[in-house]
Amino acid sequence: MGYGHIHPLLVARVAIKRTKLAGIEETEPQGLLTYIGVSRKLERHELEFSGLLAQSLKDGGSVLLRPSSRVLVMGEADPPYCRWHDGSLYRHDDPLERRYCTRRTPRGYCNEHIGSLRALYETCVAGWSLDACRKVDEELGTELKYTIYMVAHGGRKVKVGLTRSFRLLNRLAEQHHLVATVILETDSLLKARKAEMRLSREAGVSDKGPRKLVEGDRQAAADLLARVAERVAMDLGIDWKRRLLYVESPYRLPEPGRPSMRSEYRIAGYSQGFLLLEGSEGMISVKLSTSAHKLILEPLGY
């Protein structure tokens, strides 16, 4: 990219995080929810942020930039780096052992990896192609489980989403929500995607998140989510298990912003899909889904 530097440059890849069950809270359902048997239990899971996984542009190796690591933001790769890596699609893996592709492409995946199972999965869940969903099912059979979930985020509607079942808690940690619930689980990606599409057309449901993050009342969000989930489950003949949960980040989310080029920042945390960076002018949050695979950093200490 033409930058002079002292340390090997890195490209940001993914936030390394895990969750743990922190407790079961009692809720107080209101109105009709008192009579329809909705559980009063609300699982509270806590987010633990281990750092930002980055890839060396010199040797392709993985580097973990832990919280409080200092970095110099050098710019953005255009086009970004290929998203493919050799980590497991089926279960939790060790991100530090992954090898990412070092090619650059404007399409997300390079020519070599555009037909990979990982690319097909992402193409399916992004809603771009049902044929990609079929191809994943043909390749995997029933090896993988998929979860359709809904989240209430403080708005008038709830959001429906799809993820691999083992990633449910991590997926919730990657987005703004006050409370979530599992609607159904299946071993067919095509069936899961079709169910997500159908649910997104139900009254009070959307497959889009809020345009602006808003603070909300968790109890009110739980009541709204339970009402919608109960209704769509009855309409679709789904056995809703009435499991309510949320993932809580220990970090307060500052205003979104863009880091200044050639400026120093401290990696300060992660919350709701945003990387928190602290610079000379204060704290900003950077949406990782739009900055990953292209944000170029020079490590100053980690």
Q: DSSP assignment of 60-129, as one string?
A: --EEEE-TT-EEEEEEE-SSPBP--B-S-SSS---GGG--B---B-TTSS-TTTTTSHHHHHHHHHTTS-
Q: Which tokens sit at 46? A: 């806590």
Q: Which domain holds residue 160?
A: 10-301
From first to last of its 302 residues, the chain has per-residue pLDDT tens of: 444 455 689 999 999 999 999 999 987 666 555 545 555 689 999 999 999 999 999 999 999 999 999 999 999 999 999 999 999 999 999 999 999 999 999 999 999 999 999 999 999 999 999 999 999 999 999 999 999 999 999 999 999 999 999 999 999 999 999 999 999 999 999 999 999 999 999 999 999 988 777 778 999 999 999 999 999 999 889 899 999 999 999 999 998 999 999 999 999 999 999 999 999 989 999 999 999 999 999 999 66
Q: Of 243, 93, 240, which Cα lies nearest the Cα of 166?
A: 93
Is 285 part of any domain?
yes
Q: Which tokens sit at 151? A: 């989240």
Verdict on whether the full-model pTM lies above 0.85:
yes
Is 2 part of any domain?
no
Is 273 part of any domain?
yes
Is 35 part of any domain?
yes
Q: d(Cα 150, Cα 205) in Å, to the nearest integer?
A: 9
Q: What is the DSSP letter of 33?
A: G
Is 5 part of any domain?
no
Is 52 part of any domain?
yes
Q: What are phi and psi of 139, to 5 degrees?
A: -80, -40
Is 89 part of any domain?
yes
Is 179 part of any domain?
yes
